[in-house]
Amino acid sequence: MTALTANRYTKHRDGIVTAHPVKGASRIFKGSIVCSDATGYAVAGADTAGYRVLGIALEEVDNTTGADGVRTIRVQASGVFSLAAGAAIAQADLGAELCVADDQSVALAADTVNDIPVGRLESRDGTGFVWVRLKL
C-alpha cells in the first residue's frame, strides 16, 4: 500500500442500518437483540460466550431450514431502544453498562454469565423496561 498523492472518493455508509448473513437453523424476530456468533453469523441475542451485539432486528428472518448465510437480516446498529429489564436494574444504575440476558432482555453484568455488552442505561420507564443506548 502507498499513501495518497491525490484526492479520492471514499465509499461510505451511514452505519445506522446494516445487513448480516444469518446462521443456519436460526430464527430472529423483529425487534430482538441480534448478535454475531463465534463464526460471524447473525443469531438471536443470548448470554452466550463468543457472542457480540450487532444491533436491533428491523425484520423477522426465519433461516431454520437454510444453511449459514442463505438469508440476511437488517439491523439498526445505533440509537436508544426500549428493552426488557432485569429485576436488579435500579435508577441508581443510570449510565451503567448493560449486558445481553436474552433476545429481548438486558441485565447488569453482575447478573449475566458472559457479560456481553449491549449499551448504557439511558433511563427506566417503571414498567419492567429500560431505555438502552446501544454501544457497539
> Exposed, middle or buried, 2 (CB in 10 Å: 0-12/13-18/19+)?
exposed
Domains of the chain by residue range: 17-76, 80-134
Euclidean distance between CA atoms 57 and 30, whole angstroms: 5
- pLDDT of the residue at 135: 79
Q: Can you list the alpha helix ranges (DSSP code H) found in the chain? A: none
**pLDDT in 10s for each residue of the chain, 136 residues:** 899 999 999 998 888 999 999 999 999 999 999 999 999 999 999 999 999 999 999 999 999 999 999 999 999 999 999 999 988 899 999 999 999 999 999 999 999 999 999 999 999 987 899 999 997 7
Res 23: pLDDT: 98
Provide the whole-model pTM: 0.91
Q: What is the pLDDT of residue 12?
A: 84
Structure confidence at residue 120 (pLDDT): 97
Residue in 26, 35, 33, 72 with CA at minimum distance from that of residue 53: 35
The pLDDT value recorded for residue 127 is 84
Q: For residue 1, what pLDDT is reported?
A: 84
Q: What is the pLDDT of residue 101?
A: 97
